[in-house]
Every structure is written in C-alpha cells, then in structure tokens.
Structure 1
Amino acid sequence: MNRYQTTIEELILPTGIHLNGTEAFDIQVYDDRFYNEVLRHGSLGLGESYMNGWWDCFELDHFLCQLLNIDIEQQIAKSLKAQWQTAKAQLFNMQTISRSVNVAREHYDLGNDLFEAMLDKYMMYSCAYWAKAETLDEAQEDKLELICKKLKLSAGMSVLDIGCGWGGFAQYAAQRYEVKVTGITISSQQAEIAKQCCQGLPVDILIQDYRLLTGQYDRIVSIGMFEHVGYKNYAVFMQMVKNCLKDDGIFLLHCIGGNENNVTTDPWIDRYIFPGGMMPSVEQIGKAIDQQLILQDWHNFGRYYDLTLMEWLSRFKAAWAALKHHYSERFYRMWVYYLSLSAASFRAGKNQLWQIILTKPTFTKLYESLR
C-alpha cells in the first residue's frame, strides 16, 4: 500500500467513502502519484490528478459534494501556490481592465460549439429557475421572464445589460417587452453570436469593459458577470451602476455568492476555469452599495444551480462525440470535473445564487417583490 494512502483515508475522505471501494461514489485510484499530489496541493492537486486520469469516480458529483461537506482545505495544509494566490489578491488588483480579458480568452472564447451544445436555446450561462419548469429551455426562459418582471420593463425603455454573454437576455427582452438594449461583453466569441441572435432587434452589442460605460438607462441588469469583478472593484462597479442608472431606474444583479468573505476562489478553478474570478459575500456586497444604492429585494435560489449544472453536464457528455474533434481528452476530464465540482458546491450549500434589486436613493416608488 502507498505510504500516503492511509493518511488520505483517515484525514481526508468523508465517512463511508473509500479508496478503490465498490460503491459508485468511491474513488478508483489508477496512479499512486495521486496520493502525494493531493496531500501536497489540496484541491488543486485533486483536480489536476483527475485531469491526468490518475483517479476516477462514477458518481463524481456525489463524491465532491461529500468532500466539500468536510472542508478538504481545512484537512490539508494549503500549498505555497494557493497561499501566493491569496497574497497576490490582497496586494494587487487582479481584475484590472487589462487583466480582465484573461477570462474571456481562457474561458468564454473556448469555442461557441462547446457552449451551443451545452446550453439552452437562449444560451444562458447562468442559473436557471426551476420552480415550475421541467426542461432546461423552460427553466431558462422562466428565469428571463422573472428578471424582466422584477425590472418592471415596459415598451420603449432603455436597458443596459452588463456582461450580456451570447445575447439571450437582450434578445428575450427586446422581443417580448419591446425595450432597447445595449449589451456589453469582453468576449469576441460571445459578441459574434449575440449580434446574430439580436439581428433586426433594437439591440446594440459592444465589446467593452464595464468601467468605460457612459450614458444613462431606465434599467440595468447584470447576469452572471459580477463574479469576475473582484473584491477590489465592487465599489467601483456599484458607482458605475449609480452613474448609469436614471433616478427612477431599477438595477437587477444576478450572481453567485459565497458564505464567507474571500479574496480568491478555489485554486483549481482559478487556474483552469475562471482566472481572477471570485464570489462576493453578503458583507462585501453590502459595503459596496453603502451610501450608493438602496436594497429593495434579495432573492436566493442557489439550489437551482445544482439542477442547472447537472443538466449542462449531461448535455456536454451527450455532445462529446461531436466535440472531441476540437478538444482533447484532458479537456473533457477538466470540463466534467468543473461542472461536477460546481454542482457539488451548490448542493453542499457552499455557494448561493442571488438576484438582488437595487435602486438609487432618488427612487421614490414602492418596489413590491414578486415573491
């Protein structure tokens, strides 16, 4: 037996999960380098060794959920790389205008074929709303309708979509509510699809950083973009919203949230999926809006992200036969691990999904929640 195996079984694995066991959620180790890699590098080593094919698990999401429940990073000393990642985030702004393009290049510009195969017809890359829906298309359309109702849209309004993705919200809002939408993204691949989807509609798609925005709008929305802003820029972002929002306007922020104040994300996620990304906490958002914007409503439906991510995972696996000609086997394992880990984090209650309604102090109407 590898000398590290007993240590991992005793200190790291959740109760009831075994190395090379017979249950679907047990992990199967194929390379003994796995043990040392996990002990030395924690969650980063776990993810990288999975990408390398050193271990596998039939119910990967189940295993990762159990692992998150026991806080693996508290069981293993953080690697020097992880400590340096935290130190950098504290010393420097890791989400400057120049650095922010990294996430577009390394994630959102991977290839539209990947996201078209995985996402719904509106290509919404954010949590769906499963209150009544039975399919991903229905759940994402219900989410879009919920957002439009919370924004209280009416014909002729001007709407700013910060982080418009592939144009799903802009298309839906312009078609259903006859509003004029300006969408911004830093991804050229997203902008290409967004312009195609919104052709013939009163929609402008721009490749632009949010910090360069000017003008004023009746409504502002940001869906799944705030996770890339970074804690050093939260107040800057909210100041921009205040500047761009008309006095009687409404802003809806749809974002993933964390239970604790952090300045970085998981080291594996930072390296392979969302460089420079991080999830805000309630306290961090509160400080950013203090004396700038007024909180009108805060809605949490994070449990729906588990369902959304598992649907994306199923679609990705089903499409792999067509996708594998453009992506490597290591990429396949990376993407399966990413979607499984993300689903597990919401299932374990480590992450939340918030829809937050904010207005300027000059907003004089009564805002009534839909819930």
Structure 2
Amino acid sequence: MAVHRSEFTVPAASKPPVSAARGARRWLEDLLAQADVRIDGDRPWDLRLHAPGVPERVLAQGSLGLGEAYMDGDWSAERLDQLFERIVRARLADQVQPLSIVWHHLKARWTNRQTARRAWEVGRRHYDLDDDVYQAMLDPRMTYTCGYWAQAQDLAQAQEHKLEMVCRKLRLRPGMRLLDIGCGWGSLMRYAAERHGVRCVGVTVSERQVALGRAMCRGLPVEFRLQDYRDIDGRYDAIASLGMFEHVGRRNDAAFMRVARRCLADDGLFLLHTIGRNEDGHGTDAWIDRYVFPNGELPTLARLGRAFERRFVVEDLHNFGADYDRTLMAWHANIEAAWPRFAQRLGERFRRQWRYYLLSCAGAFRARDIQLWQFVLSKDGLRGGYERPAAPSATLA
C-alpha cells in the first residue's frame, strides 16, 4: 500500500523557475501569517518544509495539494491538530480556490454523487479497510462516532455514555424494535440489546462491518443487513442513525427522510446524529473526498430543516461537537501506539494519510468550524412535549 515519494514529486524538467518558486513561497508565507503560522518556524504548529515544490502545489491544488504533499513527506508539523485549528479559524481555505477545487465544488453541486450505485463506494474504500486498524483505533465496542465526554475519563467511557444517552433519548424499553441506519459494527445495537432488552436491525454498505459485527453480536437479538438505506422496509418502534447522514447528500435528503418516516411507528422517535457545517457549501474538502470519505457532504441546519419539513417535528437538538476533538485525539493516540503492528503491511504513506485525516479533523472541530448534532424527531409532535433525559454520569454501570 505504501507509495514512494518519488512517484509524486514534480519532474525536474517541469519545475518552475527560481523566481516563480520564491514567489510561491512568499505567497504561502503571507497566507499562513494570517493564522500565526510560520514556514520552518520552531513552534509546534509551524509548517516545516522538507522538499521543494510544496508552495506551488498548494497554489495549484489547494487543500488537495497540501494533503498530498504531507502524505509524500514533503512537509511536517509537530502538532498537525494545532496547525489546522489556526488555519481553519483564519478561514485560509476561502483564499485558495484553484480551478481544481472550483471544479470539485461544481460537481458536488450539479451532480448526484450519492446515488444508489455510488453509495457502496465509501463502504469499499473506507469502512472495508483492515478490521485490525479499526479495532486498534476505536474503543472496545468499536464505536466510530463522537464520544460524549462530559463525565467520561477515557474513550471507552465516553462512548458508553454516548450510547446510553442515545438509548435514553429514544426512550428504549425491553421488547422494542430498533432500526439503526448506518450501523457500523453494531455498537449501538449491541449496547441497546444488552442494556435495554431491545431487538435490533442494522443496515450498512460495508461487507466487513457485517461480517465482524455479526461475530461481535452473536447470541443477541441483533440482525445485520448489507443494504442501502433506500431499500429498508418494515416498521420500528425507534430509529437511530449515527454518523451516516454525512454520506446521503442534499439531492437525496428527501428520500432518506421518507424512508425514516415510513419505517417509524406513529408514536416512535428518530434520533439523527450527524456532523454538520456552519454555512452552506458543496461536497467535502477535496483531500477528504479523495482519500477518506468519497462522495460525502456535510449538511447545514438550514438544509436539515428543509428536509424535516412536513415529515418530522424537531423535539430536541443537542450540539456536542467540541467533544469530537477529544474523540479524534484519542483515536490518533491509539493508532500511533499500535502502529508497529501495521508498519510493514500498510507503509509510512498510509500512516501519514491516517494521521492527517484524524488531526486535521480534530483541528477543525476545535476551531468550531464543524459541529456534531443530535436531533430527536417525532412524526407529528409528542403530546405534552419532549424532555431531554439526564446525561449519563461517571458512575454509569
């Protein structure tokens, strides 16, 4: 899986003249100065160059060029998370819009990149990655969404508190039937079955998640289905979707909500847990789209509000996006500690790719540029209203 840097560096014959290279460096220095970042500085968040051509790549390709140059080992920073917190807070990406990035946004705006056929791509390219990597990175239940850290001491506890909070918000009781749209390895279903006596059905587009999830949930009333959300049928007392809506796309919002409404009991509750952005945009970051989550798109509150109209009543909205920073940092610490097990098999370029993914996202959440929302929705509004349950405490059994 490792790729040598030489395959990605600019050939000598095509390198720009010295004056052009100096101009590109000055441009990048001036840009980064707006975020209090220096090139070849000595602070943890400063960007250190290890090869020529990085400023030109950023100028020509924006965030995609920056990320690929990092993967190639052409630059580094002692604390990538701190670097990206500053870059995002200063909104530097708004000032770098090369043609390739504009084209990426236009495709996201004018085409449906999340069709029923394309929906399986993220399963193959991201979630079907080696199970060992995810087992090393995540908590023991393999929960690949934001933890809830208010009373938690470590990642495992933060994830248990999040799962318990979801169950309480949905008012789960023994014998109820829960649908989990985008169930991952089944962490919520397993928890709900063990702690709340609930029968569960989960759908995912990842073959590996189905295989490992079935093994982890053996003996429990939990069913995994390899299925696109558009094909879900049946009736359920409660529905949850944690970290899947980011793969739906604006052109499919209505279809997703129609499925959820059709499958939810008239008196049931639907919990939608999704990352969101503060303002409208198109698609995801170009580097994230190519190397991590293909065809993804973060919603805004306005977009979600339109999707809910005439389908659901918003009973509760909870934003704990700041907790994703701590979750991502814990995932990064876990994968770094386990890296010797994967080094020979996956290679250094993959390590740098994964580090860049986790730490750039941690910086973006820390800068509060992106959020984590949990909506509790009902079909027609609960008589008497909805009261958010007490959050799990540190003594949760």
The aligned runs of 1:277-356 (5 Å cut-off) are: 277-356=296-375
| 1:191–1:207 contact (8 Å) kept in structure 2 | yes
> Which amino acid in the other structure matches residue 238 of structure 2?
R
d(CA) in 1 for partners of 2:245 and 2:345? Answer: 30
d(CA) in 1 for partners of 2:73 and 2:309? Answer: 47
Change in Cα spacing, 1:180 to 1:15, as seen in structure 2 (3 Å) is closer
Match of 1:16 in 2: 36
Match of 1:49 in 2: 69
Q: Secondary structure at the match of 1:20?
A: coil
Asked whether 1:141 is paired with 2:183, we answer no
Deviation at 1:104, TM superposition (A): 0.7
The aligned runs of 1:36-115 (5 Å cut-off) are: 36-76=56-96, 78-115=97-134
Query: Which of 83-92 and 251-260 deviates more?
Result: 83-92
Q: Secondary structure at the match of 1:159?
A: strand
| 1:12–1:75 contact (8 Å) kept in structure 2 | no
Structure 2, gaps ≥5 residues long: 1-17, 391-397
d(CA) in 2 for partners of 1:74 and 1:158? Answer: 46
d(CA) in 2 for partners of 1:75 and 1:260? Answer: 16
d(CA) in 1 for partners of 2:216 and 2:363? Answer: 32
> Which amino acid in the other structure matches residue 253 of structure 2?
Y
1:239 pairs, out of 244, 258, 266, with 258
Deviation at 1:92, TM superposition (A): 1.6
Match of 2:225 in 1: 206
> Which amino acid in the other structure matches residue 82 of structure 2?
H
| 1:167–1:193 contact (8 Å) kept in structure 2 | no
State the Cα deviation string for residues 7-50 of structure 1 (Å, max 9, x = none).
11112344432111111211110111101001111111111110
State the Cα deviation string for residues 178-216 of structure 1 (Å, max 9, x = none).
110001101001111110111111111010000001111
Match of 1:131 in 2: 150
Asked whether 1:171 is paired with 2:171, we answer no
Match of 2:54 in 1: 34
2:176 pairs, out of 149, 153, 157, with 157
Query: Which of 324-333 and 314-323 deviates more?
Result: 324-333
d(CA) in 1 for partners of 2:88 and 2:64? Answer: 14
d(CA) in 2 for partners of 1:220 and 1:186? Answer: 18
d(CA) in 1 for partners of 2:163 and 2:352? Answer: 31
RMSD over aligned Cα, in angstroms? 1.2
1:228 pairs, out of 228, 244, 247, with 247
Match of 2:277 in 1: 258
d(CA) in 1 for partners of 2:31 and 2:334? Answer: 35
| 1:157–1:179 contact (8 Å) kept in structure 2 | yes
Asked whether 1:7 is paired with 2:27, we answer yes
d(CA) in 2 for partners of 1:289 and 1:48? Answer: 38
Deviation at 1:365, TM superposition (A): 5.5
| 1:250–1:359 contact (8 Å) kept in structure 2 | yes
d(CA) in 1 for partners of 2:124 and 2:354? Answer: 16
> Which amino acid in the other structure matches residue 64 of structure 1?
F
Deviation at 1:350, TM superposition (A): 0.5
When normalised by structure 2's length, the TM-score is 0.91
d(CA) in 1 for partners of 2:314 and 2:88? Answer: 31
Q: Secondary structure at the match of 1:182?
A: strand
Percent identity between the aligned chains? 44
d(CA) in 2 for partners of 1:341 and 1:287? Answer: 30
Deviation at 1:362, TM superposition (A): 6.4
d(CA) in 2 for partners of 1:355 and 1:29? Answer: 40
Deviation at 1:278, TM superposition (A): 1.2
Deviation at 1:88, TM superposition (A): 1.6
> Which amino acid in the other structure matches residue 32 of structure 1?
P
d(CA) in 1 for partners of 2:151 and 2:209? Answer: 29
d(CA) in 1 for partners of 2:28 and 2:121? Answer: 35
d(CA) in 1 for partners of 2:58 and 2:171? Answer: 49
d(CA) in 2 for partners of 1:124 and 1:357? Answer: 20
**Total equivalences in the alignment:** 370
d(CA) in 2 for partners of 1:24 and 1:236? Answer: 46
State the Cα deviation string for residues 30-75 of structure 1 (Å, max 9, x = none).
1111010011111111111100100001011101110111112222
Deviation at 1:154, TM superposition (A): 0.3
> Which amino acid in the other structure matches residue 151 of structure 2?
K
Q: Secondary structure at the match of 1:193?
A: helix
| 2:40–2:47 contact (8 Å) kept in structure 1 | yes
| 1:43–1:72 contact (8 Å) kept in structure 2 | no
> Which amino acid in the other structure matches residue 246 of structure 2?
E
Runs (4+) of structure 1 moved beyond 6 Å? none
